[in-house]
Structure 1
Amino acid sequence: MTAISSILRSVEGGGVKFFCPGCKEMHHVPFGDGPGPRWGYNGDPEKPTFTPSILVRSGHYVPGHEGEICWCNWDDKDEFPDLQCSVCHSFVTDGLIQFLGDCTHGLAGQTVPIPALPCGNAP
């Protein structure tokens, strides 16, 4: 991965990652040719727009995982205490992240700029 701006990293195979301040982790947005779902990207690494919305789900929020043992009810949280089930749903337009109301983190309903990439952030 290579930083292409202060807010985006390119991803091998076509796509970019940005740091989500709601989830406090990187979100991957694949675009261009390739397998799987692909998003539209305006090509601006300083003020990116991605279409359609970006939906990231984990744990029991992933379709088909309802009622299964997941991060929120896992017995051994000592090793990974920060794991949690979550939903992050947003529109990214002109470098701003508009978090929708179905987000489970504290930025639900807010619009914030994509933050600079944190130093040392793992891929």
Structure 2
Amino acid sequence: MSGWRQLSPVLASANEDRLVFECPGCKVKHGIQHGPGTGPRWCWNGSAEKPTFTPSVLVTWSEPSDNPGEFDDTSKDIKRVCHSFVTDGRIQFLSDCTHALAGQTVDLPDWKDDSQ
């Protein structure tokens, strides 16, 4: 059981206030929190078919260096960025993204449930 509840072909819900979509740039799921509550919150237009989230969605993480001698040295980790606007069911990747879709705008891909 994945814990996702699919709302449309492109959007799922992880719980009452968390929405999740597939990122074709990172090839992983990104989520936002909406509505009242603590922590960062985004506005959502209420559309599961053509969602819009504001403000932008910024995801950052680090990956270990590709050099085997640097695996255990976190100062050598590779910094990754996915920064986008999701508007009317399309995702606009900003130029600071570190993946191949930087600077492009594409449709949100169909939701894939990884538990199946």
Bin of the TM-score, shorter chain as denominator length: 0.7 to 0.9
What is the rounded CA distance, in whole Å, between the counterparts of 2:38 and 2:94 in structure 1?
27
> Where in structure 2 are there 5+ consecutive unaligned residues?
73-77
TM-fit CA distance, 1:72: 2.8
1:13, 1:34 within 8 Å by CA — same for their partners in 2? no
> Where in structure 1 are there 5+ consecutive unaligned residues?
60-69, 77-83
Structure 2 equivalent of residue 51 of structure 1: 54
1:50, 1:91 within 8 Å by CA — same for their partners in 2? yes
SS of equivalent residue, structure 2 residue 59 = strand
1:39 aligns with 2:42: yes
TM-fit CA distance, 1:43: 0.4
Question: Deviation above 6 Å: which 4+ runs of structure 1?
Answer: none
How many residue pairs end up in the alignment?
A: 105
1:87 aligns with 2:90: no
1:25 aligns with 2:28: yes
SS of equivalent residue, structure 2 residue 65 = helix
1:101, 1:108 within 8 Å by CA — same for their partners in 2? yes
What is the rounded CA distance, in whole Å, between the counterparts of 2:65 and 2:20 in structure 1?
26
What's the % identity of the aligned pairs?
Answer: 51
What is the rounded CA distance, in whole Å, between the counterparts of 2:81 and 2:65 in structure 1?
13
SS of equivalent residue, structure 2 residue 111 = coil
SS of equivalent residue, structure 2 residue 15 = coil
What is the rounded CA distance, in whole Å, between the counterparts of 1:55 and 1:121 in structure 2?
23
RMSD: 1.9
Q: 1:13 to 1:34 in 2, by over 3 A?
A: farther
